[in-house]
Amino acid sequence: MDSCDKRVGELTATKSRYFWSNGPLGAEYTVNSYEREKLLLQTWNYSFLYNEIRDFGFKFVYNLLKLNAAWARIKNEENIAGCTFCSLSRTNPVEKENLQHFFNSCNTVNEISKTYFDKFMTGQGIEFDISFLMRGAPTSLTKSKIMILNIEIIIFCFLLYKYKYRKKLPRLINIEFYFSHCRFNMLKNSKYRRAWLGWGGEGGVGDDD
C-alpha cells in the first residue's frame, strides 16, 4: 500500500464507519478495505452529481452529518434525541438517532434499503448487505460497477436524510422516481453512461462526447 492508502486507513471517520457497520461482514478495517474505502471517499466529487448531493456525500463520508442525537447534545435537550423514522413508524423502543443507528440499525432503513438494492443489484452476483451504506460497494465488483453502486448508495442515503428532515417516512415509489430523474441527467455524462451500460442499465443519449 502507498502512503495515500495508509492515510485513508488512518482516518477517524473511516474507522468509525467500519466500527458502526460491524454487521454480517464482520471484518474490521483491514488492508483489503483500503481500495474499497478510497473509491467510496471519491464518490461525492463526481461533477455530474447535483451540488446538494455532493455536499451531502462529503459530509456523509466524513461523518459530519448532524442527526437528532447530536442536536440533543448541542441543545442539551435529551428528549429530542430519538430516531425520526422509529418514532414515525411507532417502533419501540425508539433508539437514539445517531449515524450508527440511522444508516445501519434502523428497521425502517433496513427494510427500504433491502427492497431498493435487492432489485437494483439483481443479476450482479452479490447480495446487498446493510453495511454497504457505510462501507460502500464491495471490491468483488469491477471498478465501473463499484462507481455505479457507490453513486447509488450516496444518493439513497441523501434521500433518507431528506425524508428525516421533512419528518416523513421514506417511500419507495418516490425514491425510484427521484433516481430516474437523477439518472436522466447523469446519463448525459459519458463516464457515467459507460459505467451504467456496463452495469446493464438502459442508455441515454449523451451530449458531451
Interface residues toward Zn ion, by CB under 5 A: 83, 85-86, 106
- Collapse the DSSP code of 96 into the 3-class scheme (helix H, G, I; strand E, B; otherwise coil) and give the result: strand
Complex with Zn ion: residue 40 or 160, whichever CB lies closer: 160
d(CA 80, CA 69): 7
- Residue 82: strand pairing partners: 96
**Farthest-apart Cα atoms in the chain, separation:** 54
Burial class of residue 184, CB neighbours in 10 A (0-12, 13-18, 19+): exposed
Nearest to 88 by CA among 166, 159, 20, 155: 166
Instruction: Give phi and psi for 98, each to the nearest 5.
Output: -115, 180
CA atoms within 13 A on the CB side of 138: 13
Q: How far is the CB of 82 from Zn ion (least distance, A)?
A: 8
